[in-house]
């Protein structure tokens, strides 16, 4: 198989943290002037955290930002995947995957709008390419490739960038989580109360934001970055640090791939800004802000989805729901996501303990059990949002299904509490979700991706 090895190394230069990119240094001496509008971060600019520097906080913000990105691109693999996504059965197998697996993946894509879609199985069937495969399929089925005159090779290249910039070593914040959120977003975009008002731009923004909303996530939360004096915390002045990074990284990948280069500049700038507004809405610390606003709209019955601003607000709500929908999935998948997110919490807690930092809420494996964390998260974060979403949808079949799963899963975790408490001292710290747990929920329970919690 003939392959092309591409090696890129570059960085963005800022005149100050709140200003636009001054220039982009890529591929040696090549210099590209940054566009006006949204400052973009270089793709892959999030440095792996050098924990040797954590004890020296005066220098921990000076961790280098250069990171070489090596990508193996196979045109045969792309050609094979693109034929699959267009429904064309290859005449000769390239033996990238067993044909039985490819057939199962095609079958799953035909049911991508079903709420019981198993993203873990789909990721296995696509050989770890669930995000790229899913997005290519959804862009095609929604008619976005034709409407925006997107080049399929360029689209695929951009999606590979996004998928590869997720950290596979993260138990939770990885490309499979992004694919899961994207599939949920697809389901929400089909809700009758919303679907009839959506434009192709709305749909593309919703899918892109879902796919990239956690890109380059380091597996630790904002408080961790702040107390270790990480350069991103300084850059974004401790405000929505990770969400800003996800957004600016996405903008950087869009520009590098030139996916939208053929569109008018005003339109691309608008797309970049709206993507930022959507991704920043996933900051769990803004949960009450969005929930209060949604309740007011529903109480006053003044949502006008013909209006672009109201429509964008509901896209923000839809993305927030998709981001924390794990407790609304069937128990088998919901349980797996819960275990993954708590494993990421515990890893952060172990690092904090190792380097003599204060252990963040929900990150102490000896005190914070998975059932207690999940019950508090469901009670104070998930249930209030999804009840209002159900009101918006008019208690649609999907909304009722999600609330039913949520109630069942909460009961399942409650049934596991006594066993956890007997086997783990201190497990009562989160049990039924008392006042302390409410605080933990808003600070740290970013359980499904709204990474302001300890992930």
Active site amino acids: 173
Q: Count other Cβ atoms within 10 Å, centred on residue 349.
A: 23
Which residues, 6 or more positions from 296, have their beta carbon under 8 angstroms from its beta carbon? none
Q: Please identify which residue in the block is written with the tokens 């045969």.
A: 76
Instruction: Return phi, psi of residue 70, to 5°.
Output: -110, 130
Q: Is 407 exposed, middle or buried (0-12, 13-18, 19+ CB in 10 A)?
A: middle
d(CA 156, CA 162): 10
DSSP annotation of 88 reads P
Annotated binding site for AMP: 173-177, 214, 323, 374
DSSP annotation of 61 reads G
CA distances from 292 to 296, 322, 453 (A): 6, 18, 20
Q: Count other Cβ atoms within 10 Å, centred on residue 276.
A: 19
For the residues of 268-300, what is the DSSP string, one character each? HHHHHHHHHHHHHTT-GGGHHHHHHHHHHHHHH
Annotated binding site for Zn(2+): 177, 213-214, 323
d(CA 449, CA 214): 7
d(CA 7, CA 74): 14
- Would you give the distance in Å from CA 385 to the centre of its chain? 18
CA distances from 136 to 148, 154, 174, 183, 193 (A): 14, 11, 18, 12, 26
Annotated binding site: 173-177, 213-214, 323, 374
């Amino acid at each position: 198989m003939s392959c092309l090895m591409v090696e890129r190394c570059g960085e963005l230069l800022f005149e100050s943290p709140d200003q636009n990119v001054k220039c982009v240094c890529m591929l040696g001496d090549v210099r590209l002037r940054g566009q006006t509008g949204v400052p973009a971060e270089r793709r892959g600019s999030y440095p792996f955290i050098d924990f040797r520097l954590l004890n020296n906080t005066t220098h921990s913000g000076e961790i280098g930002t250069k990171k070489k990105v090596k990508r193996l691109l196979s045109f045969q693999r792309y050609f094979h995947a693109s034929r699959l996504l267009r429904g064309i059965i290859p005449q000769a197998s390239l033996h990238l995957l067993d044909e039985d697996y490819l057939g199962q993946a095609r079958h799953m894509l035909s049911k991508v709008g079903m709420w019981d879609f198993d993203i873990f199985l789909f990721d296995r069937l696509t050989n770890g390419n669930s995000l790229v495969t899913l997005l290519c399929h959804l862009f095609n089925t929604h008619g976005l490739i034709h409407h925006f005159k997107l080049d399929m090779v360029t689209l695929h290249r951009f999606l590979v960038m996004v998928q590869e910039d997720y950290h596979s070593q993260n138990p939770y914040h990885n490309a499979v989580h992004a694919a899961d959120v994207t599939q949920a977003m697809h389901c929400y975009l089909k809700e009758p109360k919303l679907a009839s008002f959506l434009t192709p731009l709305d749909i593309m923004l919703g899918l892109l934001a879902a796919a990239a909303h956690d890109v380059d996530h380091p597996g630790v939360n904002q408080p961790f970055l702040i107390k270790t004096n990480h350069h991103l915390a300084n850059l974004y002045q401790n405000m929505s640090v990770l969400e800003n990074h996800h957004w600016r990284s996405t903008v950087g990948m869009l520009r590098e791939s030139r996916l939208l280069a053929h569109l008018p500049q005003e339109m691309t700038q608008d797309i970049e800004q709206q993507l930022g507004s959507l991704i920043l809405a996933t900051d769990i610390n803004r949960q009450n802000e969005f929930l209060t606003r949604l309740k007011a709209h529903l109480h006053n019955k003044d949502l006008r989805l013909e209006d672009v601003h109201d429509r964008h607000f509901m896209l923000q709500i839809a993305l927030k729901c998709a981001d924390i929908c794990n407790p609304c999935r069937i128990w088998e998948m919901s349980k797996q996501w819960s275990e993954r997110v708590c494993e990421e919490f515990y890893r952060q807690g172990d690092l904090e303990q190792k380097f003599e930092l204060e252990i963040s809420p929900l990150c102490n494996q000896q005190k914070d059990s998975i059932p207690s964390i999940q019950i508090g998260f469901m009670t104070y974060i998930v249930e209030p949002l999804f009840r209002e979403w159900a009101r918006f949808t008019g208690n649609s079949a999907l909304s009722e299904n999600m609330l039913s799963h949520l109630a069942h899963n909460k009961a399942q975790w409650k049934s596991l509490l006594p066993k956890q408490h007997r086997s783990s001292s201190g497990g009562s710290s989160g049990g039924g979700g008392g006042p302390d747990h409410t605080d933990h929920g808003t600070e740290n329970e970013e359980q499904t991706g709204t990474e302001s919690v300890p992930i």
